[in-house]
Every structure is written in C-alpha cells, then in structure tokens.
C-alpha cells in the first residue's frame, strides 16, 4: 500500500510539469503577439498573467494532492 501511495503522489506532482510547459508556450505566443502589434502589449500582458495564474493554480493543486497522499493517506 505504501508503494501505491508514493506512486500516486508522483503522478500528482506531474501537474507541475504540465503547468510549466503551458506557461512557457503561452509566454512565447505573447512575445510573438507583442512583437507583431506593440500597441496591444498591455492587453496581451494582462491576458498572459491571468492565464499563467490559472496554470499555476493547477500546479499548486497537484502539489497539494501529492502532499496529502504522502502525509495523510493511510
């Protein structure tokens, strides 16, 4: 049972990888958008930051599930 708990925690921690990749792609596209239309940089940056916050929230939930599996699950 211990092994399954740690395996589940490892899988839950993989949410951080997805969030990192998603934020990296979004940042790259935002830079491309700003380079094409510099006058819209404020709107693009705002949208990027809101999207990055949602992606980071997913990573934090994965970390929380991982910690709960390791220390709370029996």
Q: Quick: pLDDT tens for 10-52.
A: 888 888 888 899 999 999 999 999 999 999 999 999 999 999 9
Per-residue model confidence (pLDDT) at position 3: 86
Tell me how far CA of residue 67 lies from CA of 19, 43, 55, in angstroms.
18, 36, 19
Task: Give the span between the Cα atoms of 40 and 31, in whole angstroms.
Answer: 11
Q: Which domains does the chain have, with CATH numbers?
A: 2-71 (1.20.20.10)
pTM over 0.85: no
**Spatial CA neighbour of 34 closest among 43, 23, 22, 25:** 43
The end-to-end CA distance of the chain, in Å, is 8
């Amino acid at each position: 049972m211990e092994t399954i708990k740690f395996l589940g925690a490892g899988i839950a921690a993989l949410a951080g990888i997805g969030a990192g990749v998603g934020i990296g792609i979004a940042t790259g596209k935002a830079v491309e958008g700003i380079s094409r239309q510099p006058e819209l940089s404020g709107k693009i940056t705002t949208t990027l930051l809101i999207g990055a916050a949602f992606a980071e929230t997913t990573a934090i939930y994965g970390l929380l599930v991982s910690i709960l599996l390791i220390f709370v699950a029996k």
